[in-house]
Chains A and B, each alone.
Chain A
Amino acid sequence: MFDLAFQNLVSPMVLFFVLGVAAALARSDLSIPEPVAKLLALYLLMSIGFRGGVEVAHQGVDGTMIAAIAAGIALSFLMPFLAYLMLRTTSRLDAVNAAAVAAHYGSISAVTFVAVTGTLGQLGIAWDGYMVAVGAAMETPAILAALLIARGRTDAATPGQSRGALLREVALNGSIVILLGAFVIGALTGARGAAMLKPFLNDAFAGVLCLFLLDMGLVAGRGLAQGRRHLSLPVTVFGVAMPLIGGALAAGLAWIIGLSVGSTAVLITLAASASYIAVPAAMRLALPQANPAIALTLSLGITFPFNLLVGIPLYIALAGRIAP
């Protein structure tokens, strides 16, 4: 466990993230332009989506995949209720802000997903390609849960904003479309497609991930510097406790389903992560009264670094103990 944690801490990925945070806190002018950051994210999601699809083409679809997707959807829908309850009982967040934060913690962080697959790749631990579909399925149910929680507590949703339209928008956000689209293309083209794209989608992956995590570090560092005054101690503690609780629930489900070590680690990480791309945008439409700085600072400034530095090695070690 400690060996794994040490290996993780001295991996180039984590060190580039730390460099980004340090540069931001030191007010360096180091920056990655917004279009470049978006391109890096597209590349990473395309890479893991495509490789997941290729693996599904090789292994085929089975009951475990269906059970894993169902588990992911259940986690995404139920965790916001738990998160809301925790926030309302331990902090002074009002109902609307607590619902908005809860939605972030029910949904997943595609970046954390990319990070855990990168770490598993470094350790030579295989994960099942269908976990890409599990990740995509976990994006949206949390939004629905947050809307149910906030129902009757706010009258300020964007006018003309139907629940269906909002869910469709989240389900079709760019990160999901590229992830699932690449997954389908990988499944359709299989080994032939994998051989054609290997130099682009496999060999460059680790380097691009380092550059992207440098950007994440810069954004997280800036977010912390600006937004930390929005985080009370109980809310900050929630940003570390909720990933552990969500991860524990996912570990139990992965054990029941009988997922492999790699897939268990991925499911735990997905449940432990908090969205900072799709859900924040949806919450600005659904719950505009909520202060976006609270959820974003918590998700990106507290939970993402925690997962990257401590959580991922912990989740992989846990998966190694419980998976068959």
Chain B
Amino acid sequence: MQTFPKKRIEIVVEAPLLRRITAKLDETGVTGWSVVPILAGHGRDGDWSAEGQVGTASQMVMLITIVDAAKLDAVLDGVFALVSHQIGFVTVSDIAVMRPERF
């Protein structure tokens, strides 16, 4: 089966920022994304866990989106302006998709 190269962006960020990031993706013409909750983790400040938390401040989420290489810089510039001072990280990887018109 033929596949087509695309870019996969993973954004791990503090939950309170999620709405602003999805708005920014919408603004830059990204057509779809998925959000995954993160149960627990370990970073520079030690362990953390979402267990039993009522507020969003102690929670992290992962946002996954796939974009065309031509759009990558615009999306990353917009996202980085939002997350540069926040806890978390952004990764970009090369992937292959079967339906390129969707991204």
Chain B, 67-90, contact with A by CB distance < 8 Å: what is the 0/1 string? 000000000000001100111000
Answer whether A226 and B46 are a contact pair too, CB < 8 Å, given A158-B20, A158-B82, A285-B16.
yes
Chain A residues numbered 177-229 whose CB sits less than 8 Å from any CB in chain B: 215, 218-219, 222, 226-227
Complex Cα distance, B85 from A33, in Å, reads 29
B20, B45, B47: the one within 8 Å of A160 (CB): B20
A218, A277, A292: the one within 8 Å of B52 (CB): A218
Question: Which residue of A is nearest B51, CB measured?
Answer: A31
Chain A, 38-61, contact with B by CB distance < 8 Å: what is the 0/1 string? 100100000000000000000000
Complex Cα distance, B24 from A107, in Å, reads 30
Q: Are A284 and B53 in contact (CB under 8 A)?
A: no
Q: Are A293 and B54 in contact (CB under 8 A)?
A: no
Complex Cα distance, B21 from A285, in Å, reads 12
Q: Are B52 and A215 in contact (CB under 8 A)?
A: yes
For the complex, is B50 an interface residue (Cβ under 8 Å from A)?
Answer: yes
CB distance from B83 to the nearest CB of A (A): 9
Chain A, 76-101, contact with B by CB distance < 8 Å: what is the 0/1 string? 00000000000000000000000000
Q: Are A34 and B53 in contact (CB under 8 A)?
A: yes
Question: Which residue of A is nearest B39, CB measured?
Answer: A34
Pick from A32, A38, A159 the residue with the most CB of B within 10 Å.
Answer: A159
Chain B residues numbered 6-32 whose CB sits less than 8 Å from any CB in chain A: 14-17, 20
Q: Are A296 and B46 in contact (CB under 8 A)?
A: no
Q: Are B56 and A281 in contact (CB under 8 A)?
A: yes
Cross-chain pair count, CB within 8 angstroms? 77
Chain A residues numbered 14-35 whose CB sits less than 8 Å from any CB in chain B: 31-34
CB distance from A253 to the nearest CB of B (A): 28
Answer whether A281 and B54 are a contact pair too, CB < 8 Å, given A226-B48, A293-B45.
no
Answer whether A288 and B54 are a contact pair too, CB < 8 Å, given A158-B20, A159-B81, A281-B16.
no
For the complex, is B97 an interface residue (Cβ under 8 Å from A)?
Answer: no
Chain A residues numbered 247-289 whose CB sits less than 8 Å from any CB in chain B: 276-278, 280-285, 288-289
For the complex, is A37 an interface residue (Cβ under 8 Å from B)?
Answer: yes
B50, B57, B87: the one within 8 Å of A281 (CB): B57
Complex Cα distance, B53 from A218, in Å, reads 10
Answer whether A292 and B53 are a contact pair too, CB < 8 Å, given A158-B20, A284-B14.
no
Interface size on B, residues (CB 8 A): 25
Complex Cα distance, B52 from A230, in Å, reads 22
For the complex, is A156 an interface residue (Cβ under 8 Å from B)?
Answer: yes
Complex Cα distance, B16 from A283, in Å, reads 9
Question: Which residue of A is nearest B78, CB measured?
Answer: A159
Q: Are A156 and B85 in contact (CB under 8 A)?
A: yes
Q: Are B58 and A280 in contact (CB under 8 A)?
A: yes
Q: Are B52 and A31 in contact (CB under 8 A)?
A: yes
CB neighbours of A282 from chain B (8 A): 16
CB neighbours of B46 from chain A (8 A): 226-227
Complex Cα distance, B14 from A222, in Å, reads 19
Answer whether A41 and B54 are a contact pair too, CB < 8 Å, given A222-B49, A226-B47, A284-B14.
yes
Answer whether A288 and B86 are a contact pair too, CB < 8 Å, given A160-B20, A226-B48, A293-B45.
yes
Question: Which residue of A is nearest B49, CB measured?
Answer: A222
Q: Are B82 and A38 in contact (CB under 8 A)?
A: no
CB neighbours of B48 from chain A (8 A): 226
Other A-B pairs, 12, CB within 8 Å; known A276-B55, A281-B55, A293-B45:
A32-B51, A32-B52, A33-B52, A158-B85, A159-B81, A218-B52, A219-B53, A281-B16, A285-B17, A285-B20, A289-B85, A292-B58
10 contacts between A and B (CB under 8 A): A31-B52, A33-B51, A34-B53, A37-B54, A38-B54, A158-B85, A160-B82, A281-B16, A281-B57, A288-B85
Which 8 residue pairs spanning A and B have beta carbons closest together?
A280-B57, A277-B55, A288-B85, A281-B16, A156-B85, A281-B57, A215-B52, A284-B16
